[in-house]
Amino acid sequence: MKRALTLAALVIAGTFTTAASAQTAAKAPDPALVDAYIKSTFGKAPPEWQARIEPDETLKTCNAFHNDVPGAEADKITKRELARVVYPADGKFLGNWKEGAKIANNGRGGQFSDPPGTIAGGNCYACHQMEQKEVSYGTLGPSLTNYGRDRKYDPAEIKNAYTKVYDSQAILACSNMPRFGVNKVLSEQQIKDIVAFLFDPESPINK
């Protein structure tokens, strides 16, 4: 709290300086101050989130290159992230598409205000078009309409989709898509259900 107040004071002081000199406004904020502020906002977060304040190797690289990583760094990232993907022990990638449809639509989870035991969703519609009848979706990611049908329900593509959802950066370095499996947002079963939503011929995605 004290830290936050100190920061607020500095921010206000900064505003006056900005008015006085445009040069000051262009100066980058002190990284130590930014870190202290971010830490102060994580006060109520569970321990496993606290650990994520410190960017991992992959995020550090993406940040350093503003996500525009050179080829050699990109290869290191995809290799490192692929090694983190845990594939289902039973070798089955397809769960229940009806459950997957609910998970894709669920934007809950990852908030400090979540009641204990909140089941997180994938919030896929925030970035992707999926089933045809849904009219509300974001466009940061490509449309996933007909995803399985377009890929002829190919088992290699099914495995790829599991990998993508588990750890987007195992496929594309510095992807804007969350790493749902490695960051423990979604469970293995939830990811299987999502993959079924993408690949089951009965799923509305493929109708």
Query: Under the rule (CB under 6 A), what is the footprint of ligand HEC?
Result: 104, 122-124, 126-128, 140-142, 144, 161, 164-165, 168, 172, 175-178, 180, 194
Q: Could you tell me if 85 and 191 are in contact, meaning their C-beta atoms sit under 8 angstroms apart?
A: no
Q: Could you tell me if 168 and 179 are in contact, meaning their C-beta atoms sit under 8 angstroms apart?
A: yes
Is 17 or 189 the residue whose CB approaches ligand HEC more closely? 189
Q: Could you tell me if 109 and 119 are in contact, meaning their C-beta atoms sit under 8 angstroms apart?
A: yes
Q: How far is the CB of 2 from ligand HEC (least distance, A)?
A: 34
Is 31 or 193 the residue whose CB approaches ligand HEC more closely? 193
Q: Could you tell me if 182 and 84 are in contact, meaning their C-beta atoms sit under 8 angstroms apart?
A: yes
Q: How far is the CB of 68 from ligand HEC (least distance, A)?
A: 14
State how far the Cα of 27 lies from the Cα of 93, in Å rounded to an integer: 49
Q: How far is the CB of 35 from ligand HEC (least distance, A)?
A: 24
Burial 33-45 (b: 16+ CB within 10 A, else e): eeeebeeeeeeeb
Is 37 or 65 the residue whose CB approaches ligand HEC more closely? 65
Q: How far is the CB of 176 from ligand HEC (least distance, A)?
A: 4
What does DSSP assign to residue 125? Answer: G
Token couple for 110: 């990852």
Q: How far is the CB of 21 from ligand HEC (least distance, A)?
A: 37
Is 40 or 160 the residue whose CB approaches ligand HEC more closely? 160
State how far the Cα of 142 lies from the Cα of 126, in Å rounded to an integer: 11
What does DSSP assign to residue 114? Answer: P
State how far the Cα of 164 lies from the Cα of 173, in Å rounded to an integer: 11
Is 33 or 126 the residue whose CB approaches ligand HEC more closely? 126
Is 2 or 133 the residue whose CB approaches ligand HEC more closely? 133
Type of residue at 126 = A
The residue written with tokens 């449309």 in the block is: 143
Give the distance, in angstroms, between the CA of residue 119 and the centroid of all CA atoms in the same chain. 16
Q: How far is the CB of 198 from ligand HEC (least distance, A)?
A: 6
